[in-house]
Amino acid sequence: MCYDIKTSLEKQLRRALLDGSKADAQEIAEKLKMFSKEDSVLHHASGFEHPQMFIYTQETPDTPTLATWGLVPEWAADKESIWNKTLNARGETIFETASFKDSATDKRCLIYLEGFYEHHHKNGKTYPYFIQHKEKDLFAVAGLWSEWQNDLGELLKTFSIVTSKGNLLMGDIHNNPKLAEPRMPLILTEDMESQWLDGKLAQSDVEKLIKPLADDKLVAHTVGPIKGKKASGNVPQASREVNYAELQVQQLGLF
């Protein structure tokens, strides 16, 4: 699963700025003005709050598009009944699931994250972890997007984060007894980024990309509560390490 993330809208624009012209940079600066300083940095954002983020699509792979987290397929009668169910798209079935199959074919996208949060279960309690890339402060995850029109004719662009089976690290962390297996966002290497956005790629080749990131590419540490009354909220402290005495022996063994 991937319902809780950390990113910065400014950092999400990095892909566009790398090879962009001065005109592009100006356009990007204008897009950022839409957000307050507090809203542009997502130290902890929950998908269930449906934040707006930048995505890079097959149609415009070098230009950021503003979209809302929680995919709403174009045939949906309303967004409220579906977008809490489409925050994630299970990678192994994106070409079969009604909400995702059209987007899987020609509306794939990239979303850039600094990290994500997941809970570990032990003795009836849950402990939140922050997971990030060992070598990068920003990494791409695979996504699907769609465009939905409301009763007023307004267009809403939305996206879902694609997930894969968890690697060994996520197997240690994401041990929710209600789930059949650990999951993780589909993190793409740089080579895989261009392939994911390739509109000519055959379905079978897209499916080959849906696999967990190598076990040694992620690091994790425990953090304070990200849910409930004790949650820190969207503040820098959200991803800072917090140690739990009851987990120390376990952490020494795993990480």
Whole-model pTM: value is 0.92
Angle, vertex CA 158, rays to CA 154 and CA 94, nearest 5: 135
Q: Are 113 and 73 in contact (CB under 8 A)?
A: no
The Cα–Cα gap between 254 and 139 comes to 24
How high is the pLDDT of residue 176?
87
Cβ count near 135 (within 10 Å): 10
How high is the pLDDT of residue 107?
97
Both tokens of residue 187?
């993190």
pLDDT digit string (tens) for the chain, length 255 residues: 799 999 998 888 888 877 665 556 666 667 667 666 667 899 999 999 999 999 999 998 988 899 999 999 999 999 999 999 999 999 999 999 999 999 999 999 999 999 999 999 998 899 999 999 999 999 999 999 999 998 888 899 999 999 999 999 999 999 888 888 999 999 999 999 999 999 999 999 999 999 999 999 999 999 999 999 999 899 999 999 999 988 864 443 454
CATH code reported for the domain at 4-254: 3.90.1680.10
Q: Length of the chain in residues, anyone?
A: 255
Q: How many CA atoms lie within 13 A of 91 on its CB side?
A: 27
Instruction: Report which of 234, 217, 68 is spatially closest to residue 143, judged by C-alpha positions.
Output: 68
The Cα–Cα gap between 41 and 37 comes to 7
Q: What is the three-state SS of the chain?
A: CCCEEEEEHHHHCHHHHHHCCHHHHHHHHHHHCCCCHHHHEEEEEEHHHCCEEEEEECCCCCCCEEEEECCCCCCCCCCCCCCCCCCEEEHHHCCCCCCCHHHHHHCEEEEEECEEEEEEEECCEEEEEEEEECCCCCEEEEEEEEEEECCCCCEEEEEEEEEEECCHHHHHHCCCCCCCCCEEECEECHHHHHHHCCCCCCHHHHHHCCCCCCHHHEEEEEECCCCCCCCCCCCHHHHCECCCHHHHHHHHHHC
Q: Are 100 and 91 in contact (CB under 8 A)?
A: no
